[in-house]
């Protein structure tokens, strides 16, 4: 591993996967403390909702759960949830 890879590793491990903010304490999932809570909460809500309403759209989720689109898109991009249509 050369020095660039090491630096790269260092920075990616210290940067939040959601807000790209610097992470003060080592975390396992790659989120800062602020995002960890909101992402986990949103993910739980969405998962639960999709189990009851498998055909729910992004707009449904936003309306019913009040989860920000930014978080929904993040979860989709990370492959943690899948939603049929994505018109936005």
Q: Does 19 bind Zn ion (CB under 5 A)?
A: yes
Q: Which of 21, 50, 57, 76 binds Zn ion (CB under 5 A)?
A: 21
Of 56 and 74, which has the nearer Cβ to Zn ion?
A: 74
Q: Does 18 bind Zn ion (CB under 5 A)?
A: yes
Query: How is the chain classified by DSSP, letter by letter?
Result: --HHHHHHHHHHHTB-TTT-PBPSS--SSS--HHHHHHHHHHHHHHHHHHHH-TT--HHHHHHHH---HHHHHHHHHTTS---S----
Candidates 25-33, 39-47, 57-65, 71-79: pick the segment binding Zn ion (CB under 5 A): 25-33
Enumerate the β-bridge partners of residue 22. 15
Of 63 and 70, which has the nearer Cβ to Zn ion?
A: 70
Residues that bind Zn ion (CB under 5 A): 16, 18-19, 21, 32, 35
């Amino acid at each position: 591993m050369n020095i660039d890879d090491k630096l790269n590793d260092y920075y990616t491990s210290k940067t939040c996967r959601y807000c790209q903010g610097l992470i003060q304490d080592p975390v396992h999932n790659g989120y800062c403390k602020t995002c960890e809570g909101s992402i986990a909460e949103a993910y739980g809500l969405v998962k639960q909702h999709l189990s009851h309403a498998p055909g729910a759209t992004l707009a449904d989720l936003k309306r019913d759960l009040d989860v920000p689109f930014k978080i929904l898109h993040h979860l989709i991009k990370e492959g943690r949830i899948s939603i049929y249509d994505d018109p936005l």
